[in-house]
Amino acid sequence: MKSAPTLSSAFLKPAGESLPQPLLALRKERGKALVDMPLPTRKTENWKYSSRHLKLSDELANSLPAGGATTDAAAGGYRIVIRNGVVDASTSVLPQVEGLSVQRFADLTDEDAAELARSLDSTLDTRATQMARLNSARFEDGLLIRLKPDTVVDQPLFVIHEVTATAAGSAFPRIYVDAGRHSGMTLVEEFLSSGDESAMVDAVTEFTLADGARITGVRLVAEGQNIQHIGATGVRQLRSSRFESHCVGFGGPLRRHDLRVRLEGEGAECKLNGVVVTQDKQHYDNHTCIDHMVPNCNSEETYRNIAADESHAVFNGRIHIHKDAQKSNANMNNKNLLLSTGAEIDTKPELEIYADDVKCAHGATIGQLDDTSLFYLVSRGIARREASVLLTMAFINELVAQIPVEQVRNSANERLNQFFDDAFREA
Amino acid sequence: MATTDKEVKELIKREYEHGFVTEIEADTFEPGLNEDVIRRLSAIKQEPEFMLEWRLKAYRRWLEMEEPDWAHVGYPKIDYNSISYYSAPKRKEDMPQSLDEVDPELLKTYEKLGIPLHEREKLAGVAVDAVFDSVSVATTFKEPLAKAGVIFCSISEAVRDYPELVQKYLGSVVPAGDNFFAGLNAAAFSDGTFVYVPKGVRCPMELSTYFRINAANTGQFERTLIIADEGSYVSYLEGCTAPMRDENQLHAAVVELVAMDDAQIKYSTVQNWYPGDEEGKGGIFNFVTKRGTCLGRNSKISWTQVETGSAVTWKYPSCILRGDNSVGEFYSVALTNNYQQADTGTKMIHLGKNTSSTIISKGISAGRSSNAYRGLVKFQPGAEGARNFTQCDSLLIGDQCGAHTFPYIESRNKSAIVEHEATTSKVSDEQMFLCRQRGIDPEQAVSMIVNGFCKEVFKELPMEFAVEAGKLLEVSLEGSVG
């Protein structure tokens, strides 16, 4: 049998030696574990549908140089720019809120760094996110966001992940959020790019929520068509905490996001929303996993995909109710709209249940615009194309409207309108 | 609920009632599989040359294949060389010409199993082909079937008597290299059933096969091939049992169905292999590949299965919907108790226009068992206007068991519509209370509720089987509530 290709050793040479010693040591250790790591293939269950889009070359192993032009991202509020994986202090507007500390990894004391090194990766299932593991071996900088108990941040904090692809290479942005008891904040992550060389972003964000914390994570992925995006988000929730996630994704050559939430304290709840649109030959793959580890937790998940032209959208949602996690309530819903026969949608809503007194349900559909609704609108004098756009918009608007940050809502809608213009150009 | 639970826990546990061993002299091959064994097997069966070639090719291919490990089941590694690949009741003469010549011990066995093997039991109206260990021992109702033009015989006979049909269709749906267990079966299948229903014929009675593994250390590798020609209809039932033994036994069968234009095949299974004892010791490993292809327009294949037995089940009866307007159906009840593990489901591959499929799967797990539904619904670009509806529900009884759902849905046609729904629940306290309050004892109440849960599937079964299936559920569930 032909042996599967393995990760090129070029990817295991991290740059940026300015990190504190404990983090450098962690990076090295994680790198060792990746030596000869088999790359995902069609036979790798969690990359079954997406491995054909993953194109690694030794050129991509280079670190992208720091610096370069600034994209004019959404203004206002608190803003931090992470350019090519390195925090750019000069263009950042740091919040001055008591109880909130935002630090670069590079600025951490050895003591804090040692503590961080112990926590990093603790929210991820590293077996399931093999490509995101590369981040832990390669990050050159990162953001540590800590919220003291009872601290509530008044405005959303924007983190702009910018990639300047003026040469081939990769960026490895990293964020760790440690939310204390009853603290609260909204973190918006926007992924943007400039330049047109092929590049890769491998981004990992982790959240730990102490008792009663309320955190909202918003994620907008809108990089250029030259960027492969691999992202992982890990969340650990303690008692009565609440996590909300809103992801809006626009397709690209490779787009992958693994979102994993572990409900570890009773009464914790999470709500995960996601919208994905793809066109041309784009791809987008969302993998989510919710672990109900203890009794009395709730989870709710809604994802919608729209695939046009010859694009390919994938959704894999998994709910895992552990033994003794009685009275769990889990709901997953995935609806997909296939706009063209050249496009492909693959979905796999999974349930794995080891407790009997639970309420779990999932539903998934793949279909097209409803003829009756279309007819209704057309018979009232609305042009067919416009009617199609309206119905398609309605399909996802329910989720877009729930995004709690107006700027993101607006910028998502703007991009979605562009998408509809393109997707229905001949219709 | 505490008293109820206790009462239920104390309910008698009826043992696996088909667990007897029949003392019969048997010709059994020494354990192990190699080309010589296959040659001997083929020689005993007096098979034509093409069959031996086909087996050997499959065997060589199988040697290079790896055992699949993706299913949600765990079992000790199987040593394929410790299994005997052929065991047949010893007979003095050649094949028995009529039932009178069949060994009375064997007939008694089937009587114990309640199979209407004897032709005098015409009332039952079911034609039976009984497979005992590796060979088909008796086929009933051959004459009336022959009058209608239906061929219903053991596959060994078919290989000798209808080689052109066998050569054309054997392996056309499940190729020898399809998967590890199908490969093993292709190399070593010992017997099975062959059915051919000619054009425009509606098979006058239900056809049925009963499989039994009797000898120790043997595996059963039967192969079933059913061909329904244009406009024909056939309903086929299959049942299986095995003695209680402490060691695990392997059952790796292949079933192939071919439906031409306007033909319809209904395939029902009640699987009740020995599931192992309460500690999970022994039991059958049931690794089966079943697939049907709707070759013709307007054809229909319907799978109905009630899975209550086996220590480990790995089974995905599938439909390839090639012909336009063809229909695939899958109705399943899978019940696991004690340490049983089941990973079962279906595949619906839509290729033709306006094809439609329905999947109704009911999983019930009790004790420390694990029950998984794994299904694939796939629409290829040509599947214009195709439609699928899937519903898989799980019922958990007890807090030590697991219920899982792994549905794969792939669509590449914009006019195709798929809907998938899944729920998980338990026998609720309210339901139990309602029944108990009306004087129904807890065991009956659970059985009623479970029967209600499975009703959608049971109504698809032929009548005799529906009754048997209902009873089987009761037996399997006993002692599981609590």
Q: Chunk chain B into consecutive blocks of 10 residues (it has 482) and report each block's average pLDDT, rounded to whole numbers.
A: 42 53 68 87 87 92 88 84 76 46 59 51 52 61 82 87 91 90 89 90 83 65 92 86 69 92 92 79 87 94 88 92 95 89 94 95 89 94 94 87 92 92 85 90 85 84 72 68 50
- Contact at CB, A349 and B405, closer than 8 angstroms: yes
> 3-class SS at B475?
helix
| Mutation choice for A interface testing from B400, B404, B419, B424 by most A CBs within 10 A | B424
Residue B375: CA count within 13 A, CB half-sphere: 32
- Contact at CB, B412 and A343, closer than 8 angstroms: yes
Helices (H), B69-194: 104-113, 142-148, 155-161, 163-169, 180-188
Enumerate the residues of chain A whose CB falls inside 8 A of the CB of residue B401: 354, 356
User: Tell me, what's the pLDDT at A397?
Assistant: 93
A356, A361, A364 ranked by CB distance to B399: nearest: A356
Contact yes or no for B363/B346 (Cβ under 8 A): no
Residue B397 in domain: yes
User: Tell me, what's the pLDDT at A379?
Assistant: 96
Q: In the structure encoding, which two tokens stand for residue B91, read together?
A: 């007979």
User: Tell me, what's the pLDDT at B18?
Assistant: 64
DSSP A152: B
User: Tell me, what's the pLDDT at B302?
Assistant: 94
Amino acid at the residue A408: V
Give how far B14 is from chain A: nearest CA, Å.
Answer: 24
Give how far A318 is from chain B: nearest CA, Å.
Answer: 9
- Contact at CB, B411 and A349, closer than 8 angstroms: no
Enumerate the residues of chain A whose CB falls inside 8 A of the CB of residue B418: 364-367
| Mutation choice for B interface testing from A43, A314, A366, A424 by most B CBs within 10 A | A366
User: Tell me, what's the pLDDT at B89?
Assistant: 64
Residue B482 in domain: no
Residue A214 in domain: yes
Contacts of B412 (CB under 8 A, 6+ apart): A341, A343, A344, B379, B380, B381
- Residue A211: give the domain boundaries: 9-368
Q: Report the Cα–Cα distance between both ends of chain B, in Å, rounded.
A: 9
Residue A166 in domain: yes
Q: What are phi and psi of A414, to 5 degrees?
A: -60, -45
In chain A, whose CA is at the least distance from the CA of B66?
A: A1
Residue B130 in domain: yes
Residues in B lying within 8 Å of A, measured between beta carbons: 64, 70, 379, 381, 394, 396-426
Enumerate the residues of chain B whose CB falls inside 8 A of the CB of residue A338: 411, 413-414, 416
- Contact at CB, B424 and A358, closer than 8 angstroms: yes
- Contact at CB, B396 and A353, closer than 8 angstroms: yes
Rounded-to-integer distance, Cα A83 and Cα A173, Å: 8
- Residue B140: give the domain boundaries: 2-477
Give how far B435 is from chain A: nearest CA, Å.
Answer: 19
Residues in A lying within 8 Å of B, measured between beta carbons: 1, 45, 49, 323-324, 326, 336, 338-368
In chain B, whose CA is at the least distance from the CA of A342?
A: B412
DSSP B220: B
Q: How far is CA A256 from CA A47, A129, A332, B193, in A?
A: 10, 10, 19, 48
Give how far B428 is from chain A: nearest CA, Å.
Answer: 8
A324, A340, A358 ranked by CB distance to B414: nearest: A340
Enumerate the residues of chain A whose CB falls inside 8 A of the CB of residue B422: 349, 351, 360-363
Over residues B367-410, the pLDDT tens digits come to 889 999 999 999 999 999 999 999 989 988 888 889 999 999 99
Q: In this structure, are strands A143-147 and B283-294 parallel, antiparallel, or unpaired? A: unpaired
- Contact at CB, A350 and B407, closer than 8 angstroms: yes
- Contact at CB, B417 and A367, closer than 8 angstroms: yes
Partner residues linked to A93 by β-bridges: A79
- Contact at CB, B414 and A45, closer than 8 angstroms: no
In chain A, whose CA is at the least distance from the CA of B64?
A: A1
Enumerate the residues of chain A whose CB falls inside 8 A of the CB of residue B379: 366
What's the predicted TM-score (pTM) here?
0.87
Dihedral class, residue B283 (left if φ above 0, else alpha if ψ from -120 to 50, else beta): left
B418, B422, B425 ranked by CB distance to A365: nearest: B418
Residue B161 in domain: yes
How many Cβ contacts (< 8 angstroms) between chains A and B? 116
Enumerate the residues of chain B whose CB falls inside 8 A of the CB of residue A336: 411
- Contact at CB, B426 and A343, closer than 8 angstroms: no
Rounded-to-integer distance, Cα A89 and Cα B94, Å: 92
Over residues B118-139, the pLDDT tens digits come to 443 443 445 666 666 556 656 6
User: Tell me, what's the pLDDT at A244?
Assistant: 97
**Domain count across chain A:** 1
Residue A180 in domain: yes
Residue A191 in domain: yes
Per-residue pLDDT of chain A (427 residues; tens, 9 = 90+): 456 788 888 888 888 778 999 999 999 999 998 888 888 888 888 899 999 999 988 888 888 876 655 555 555 678 899 999 998 888 788 888 899 999 999 999 999 999 999 999 999 887 777 788 899 999 999 999 999 999 999 899 999 999 998 889 999 999 999 999 999 999 999 999 988 899 999 999 999 999 999 999 999 999 999 999 999 999 999 999 999 999 999 999 999 999 999 999 999 999 999 999 999 999 999 999 999 999 999 999 999 999 999 999 999 999 999 998 999 999 999 999 999 989 999 999 999 999 988 888 889 999 988 889 999 999 999 999 999 999 999 999 999 999 999 999 999 999 999 999 888 876 4
Enumerate the residues of chain B whose CB falls inside 8 A of the CB of residue A366: 379, 409, 411, 416-418
User: Tell me, what's the pLDDT at B351?
Assistant: 96
Contact yes or no for B352/B296 (Cβ under 8 A): no
